[in-house]
Chains A and B, each alone.
Chain A
Amino acid sequence: DTAVSQTPKYLVTQMGNDKSIKCEQNLGHDTMYWYKQDSKKFLKIMFSYNNKELIINETVPNRFSPKSPDKAHLNLHINSLELGDSAVYFCASSTRLETYEQYFGPGTRLTVT
């Protein structure tokens, strides 16, 4: 009965590889987000989607491509991984775009070697 789930929880890969992180929410929410938390714990919005429509793209390199096949899923695909992509990536969702409370997934720790 997990509300917001992410897979995988840990991801270790080499530079130059392409990888995906999946996110699913079973809360019936309209809006989903991706955040990146760096090694200093700084948390920054990357993308937000509302009803499968991209709302925020926060100057993220185009190696990062989110995909929302339906309202319950927002996946993050990363091409040509770089060392600086190492971080914890959080998916979140909210009832609607205007709703203030966001429910976060457990995070995916990505390590690029």
Chain B
Amino acid sequence: AQKITQTQPGMFVQEKEAVTLDCTYDTSDQSYGLFWYKQPSSGEMIFLIYQGSYDEQNATEGRYSLNFQKARKSANLVISASQLGDSAMYFCAMRDNTGGFKTIFGAGTRLFVKA
């Protein structure tokens, strides 16, 4: 069965510093996708970044990058130059890329950016 694990319930980072949010996954599928979503206190879910299991290069989107280590089954999110507006819940998610394309989410990490 597929599983996503986020072991950090909460993280603190100083403004302008980089932070890594951990995510490990488990799947027997060969083709799958890994995502990160941000949920600010206002409640909406915002798509940040995607990595396909066959993508050889790590995905990057602006200040976000996904550190994909396939052999270790990890898909950590790196946020560079943290801003106060980055304070939010961050969810790692995985989707099988065959069949029903079901997406499962991790428990989330709450990030606090300190001024």
Interface residues in chain A, defined as those with a beta carbon under 8 Å from any beta carbon in chain B: 33, 40-45, 48, 55-56, 58, 88, 90, 92, 97-98, 100-104, 106-107
With contacts A42-B107, A43-B91 known, is A102 near B101, CB below 8 A?
Answer: no
Residue from the list B45, B47, B103, B108 in contact with A45, Cβ < 8 A: B103
Determine the residue in chain A with the shortest Cβ distance to B47.
A101
Complex contacts, A102 vs chain B, CB 8 Å = 47, 103
Which of the residues B44, B52, B91 comes within 8 Å of A107, measured between beta carbons?
B44
Given A41-B89, A41-B107, A44-B105: A55 touches B47 (CB 8 Å cut-off): no
Instruction: Give Cα A102–Cα B36 distance, bound, in whole angstroms.
Output: 11
B105 to chain A, nearest CB (A): 4
- What's the minimum C-beta distance from B115 to chain A, rounded to whole angstroms? 24
* Chain A residues, Cβ within 8 Å of B107: 40-42
- The residues of A that contact B102 with a CB separation of less than 8 Å are 45, 48, 56, 58
A109 to chain B, nearest CB (A): 8
Which B residues are closer than 8 A to A by beta carbons? 33, 35, 37, 39, 43-47, 50, 52, 89, 91, 95, 97, 100-105, 107-108
CB contacts (< 8 Å) of B45 on chain A: these are: 43, 90, 92, 104, 107
Bound Cα distance from A102 to B18, whole angstroms: 26
Bound-complex Cα distance A48 to B99 (A): 12
CB distance from B51 to the nearest CB of A (A): 9
A-B contact pairs, 27 of them (CB 8 A): A33-B103, A41-B89, A41-B107, A41-B108, A42-B107, A42-B108, A43-B45, A43-B91, A43-B105, A43-B108, A45-B102, A45-B103, A45-B104, A55-B101, A56-B100, A88-B43, A90-B45, A97-B101, A98-B97, A100-B52, A100-B95, A102-B47, A104-B44, A106-B43, A106-B44, A107-B43, A107-B44
Partner of B100, one of A48, A92, A100, A101: A48
A95 to chain B, nearest CB (A): 12
Closest 7 CB pairs of A and B: A104-B45, A43-B105, A100-B50, A56-B100, A100-B33, A101-B47, A41-B108
